[in-house]
Amino acid sequence: MRPLALAPLALALLAAPAWAQVEEPVPTDCTSLFDTLGMLTRGPDSRIEDTATGCVVTNTYFGASYSRTAIGQITLEVDDLFGAIAGHSRPAKLELSVTNIRVSPEMDDSPLTAYILETQQAPFDLHLAYSWDEASGVFNLDDLSMTMPALGSLTIKARLAGVSDIPDAPAEPTDYLRGNVEKLSLTLDNRGLFTAFAVPVLVGNLPYDEDPRPAIAATQKTIVALIEAQPESQINASSKAALTRFVNDFPKPNGFYQFEITPIGAPVSFESLIAPNDDMVGLLELLARFNLSAEYQPAAAE
């Protein structure tokens, strides 16, 4: 099972590497970059604009048919965007905003159904901002967030050391961002976001023809025991209480949670955090290599 951060991590990994694999001819403006990457498609109201620091794309689509997703606007700001593309290198600074993302199925046989499905969607936004100093190897993930006004938000921040440029021939997605974690924080304002996006992933490997609740309850008990077993020097009493509440309230841990981890002693590689684990227990055993703090506040009254 992968940590919850894996889904938004895809955005962080793709934002720079997507052009690391661009073949000749190298794009020199936003329209040619859009066409070369080939990940998005135009609609009748699509617009692509070059700006002084990057690109702005409005009213575009990702995917096709029943799973098509509409995107209201993409704003990309990069230090020396087309120089980074030409050099297949990691930009020193990048900010990417993707707003008004929503399912927009393409159903030629029933446009009315497609319209109804789209109007029922709750749009969400994604945001990524990082800075990287090549000389020191310090990589600051300043913001990696998902916001859905109706359901809450998730924000990840991190500081990594020993991060070098993109390799010439990356073999794995993690090759794009190898380094050691110095600090990682996660803030969850959960009003249904976790249940809608994370729970299906976390329980997806359970047998489809069995009631999942006994297995979930057993896993909760195991995780709580692991939390309680950690020394106070790694997780203090208030943090243990917040973590235990989060686990026991699964699948609906509503409220405002803040988590932060820092490695104990030996460095912990970033790729080890996002590598698959056999189960949630494996993830907790990995986290035992960190000092962990957690805070909880109840959801604000409506």
pLDDT digit string (tens) for 182-214? 999 999 999 999 998 889 988 988 899 999 999
Let me know if residue 291 belongs to a domain.
yes
pLDDT (tens digit per residue) in 262-286: 999 878 888 777 665 555 566 666 7
**Which token pair is 43?**
């609609």
32-38 contacts, C-beta under 8 A, 24 or more apart: 33/82, 33/85
| Residues 22 and 36: beta-carbon distance below 8 Å | yes
Q: Compute the distance between CA of residue 219 and CA of residue 46 in angstroms, rounded to an integer.
A: 47
Q: Whole-angstrom Cα distance, residue 1 to residue 272?
A: 13
Closest CA to 127 of 104, 146, 102: 146
Strands 152-161 and 40-50: unpaired
Number of domains in the chain: 1
Structural tokens at position 208:
């489809």
Q: For residue 268, tell me if it sits in a domain.
A: yes
| Residue 235 in domain | yes
Question: Span 206-229, mean pLDDT?
Answer: 92
For 10-61, what is each residue's pLDDT tens digit?
444 444 555 555 566 788 899 999 988 888 899 999 999 999 999 999 999 9
In a domain, 278, yes or no: yes
- Residue 139 domain flag: no
For residue 240, what are the domain limits? 168-302
Do the domain assignments include residue 55? Answer: no
The angle formed by the CA atoms of residues 286, 185 and 121, to the nearest 5 degrees, is 105
Q: Any idea how long the chain is?
A: 302
What are the pLDDT digits (tens) for 243-268? Answer: 999 999 999 999 999 999 999 987 88
Residue 255 lies in a domain: yes
Q: Please check whether residue 277 is in contact with residue 286, taking contact to mean a CB–CB distance below 8 angstroms.
A: yes
Whether 244 maps to a domain, the answer reads yes
